[in-house]
Amino acid sequence: MAAQTVKRSALRKSHRGSEESKVTRVVLTVVALLFAGLFLLLPLVNVFYQAFSGGVRWYFESIRDPDTLSAIKLTLTIAAISVPLNLVFGLAASWAIAKFEFRGKSLLLTLIDLPFAVSPVVAGLIFVVLFGRSGYFGEWLDSHDIKIIFAVPGMVLATTFVTFPFVARELIPVMQATGSEQEQAALTLGASGWKTFWHVTLPSVKWGLIYGVILCNARAMGEFGAVSVVSGHITGMTDTLPLRVEKLHNGGSMGAASSAFAVASLLALLALITLGIKTILEWKTARAHEQAQRATVDDTQLPFTSSDAPK
């Protein structure tokens, strides 16, 4: 804490030895901003520009198209199943990993990250191997008239696979940081396990939880490769929004091209909302952190640091 205070004041004050000359700073900043502008801002602005290139009316007509509406519905349905599943897993895994010591813990941590290392197309492929017509359960599913591949269940499975680590990854460090003293206190005072979880654990990790959920949701709604493999691409039936974008893009006509961008703009909007919430959450946790730090500084070192404690 003291080191942080010193560092922050050092940043504010003169730091001749640790700073580049003004020319260097300007040049580096301009080059970095050009890179960011070219690769981050321009593609984003272009989505909205192209979406409205056919006029506002055409934009809304593209979105009101029945096939696009059914794609919106399917995208929301898949996310509504995949995200809660991974949320429950994230809560269970982070509780086990953060609150207990057990053998194989680091193995479990590594395995949770596994889906991130798998290419989306391969993620789709593994479910084709299991449930496809010539897959392990293909014949059995066929004889019972259950469709998984080229149907919605397969798309849900593939989406759940690729979004598997998100909530757990965000929650584990947050839960590890909060420790388990508060839960132990609640249990000592006679609260049940569930009650402790609901009233003590959940509130203390809520920002990390929301953060994980919105990232998981963004990926679930935007997933392309894995879903594309198992979708079957039946227009109006198994097209999600990203698949709809591809189909319109391949449609070829000028109208279809701007329709593709209109649909894409919905997904870009989702990305912007996700980033907005993420930024607010980061700002909130940073402020809570700062407040907590100030409190401990005030409590423990009051006589020594009252003059140079952060305002």
Partner 1 sequence: MSKQKFNPLPGFRLTVGFSVLYLSLLVLIPLGALALRASSLTWAEFWKYTTTPRAIAAYKLTFGASFVAASINALFGTLLAWVLVRYWFPCKRLVDALVDIPFALPTAVAGLTLSSLFAPNGWLGKFLVPLGIHGAYSKFGVVIALTFVSLPFVVRTLQPVIEGLELEIEEAAATLGASRFRTFTRIVFPTLFPTIVTGFAMAFARAIGEYGSVIFISTNKIGDGEIAPSVIFSYLENYQYGAAMAVAVVLLVASFLLLAVINLLERWASHYQT
Site for partner 1 in 292-311 (CB under 8 A): none
Q: Is 12 in the site for partner 1 (CB under 8 A)?
A: no
Write out the H or E segment, with its range, that includes residue 244. Answer: helix 241-251
Asked whether 150 and 230 are in contact (CB, 8 A), the reply is yes
Q: Is 11 in the site for partner 1 (CB under 8 A)?
A: yes
Region from 57-65, 217-225, 289-297, 302-310 binding partner 1, contact rule CB under 8 A: 217-225
Among the listed residues 223, 258, 259, 268, the one whose alpha carbon sits nearest the alpha carbon of residue 243: 223
Biggest CA–CA distance in the chain, Å, is 79
Q: Which of residues 57-96 bind partner 1 (CB under 8 A)?
A: 85, 88-89, 91-93, 95-96
* Distance in Å, CB of 15 to partner 1, minimum: 6
Kindly give, in sequence order, each residue whose CB lies less than 8 Å from that of residue 134, ignoring residues fewer than 6 positions away: none
Q: Which of residues 275-294 bind partner 1 (CB under 8 A)?
A: 275, 278-279
Q: Is 23 in the site for partner 1 (CB under 8 A)?
A: no
Kindly give, in sequence order, each residue whose CB lies less than 8 Å from that of residue 142, ignoring residues fewer than 6 positions away: 133
Among 99, 153, 236, 305, interactor with partner 1 by CB under 8 A: 99
Asked whether 199 and 182 are in contact (CB, 8 A), the reply is no
Closer of 33 and 302 to partner 1 (Cβ)? 33
Q: Is 223 in the site for partner 1 (CB under 8 A)?
A: yes
* Distance in Å, CB of 258 to partner 1, minimum: 10
Region from 54-62, 126-134, 203-211, 291-299 binding partner 1, contact rule CB under 8 A: 126-134
Number of residues assigned to the chain:
311
What is the DSSP secondary structure assignment for residue 173, as one 8-state letter?
H
Count other Cβ atoms within 10 Å, centred on residue 204. 17
Q: How far is CA 147 from the centre of its chain?
A: 29
Closer of 91 and 297 to partner 1 (Cβ)? 91
Q: Is 180 in the site for partner 1 (CB under 8 A)?
A: yes
* Distance in Å, CB of 86 to partner 1, minimum: 9
Q: Which of residues 136-155 bind partner 1 (CB under 8 A)?
A: 136
Q: Is 22 in the site for partner 1 (CB under 8 A)?
A: no
Query: Within the chain, how many helices (H) and strands (E) appear?
Result: 18, 0
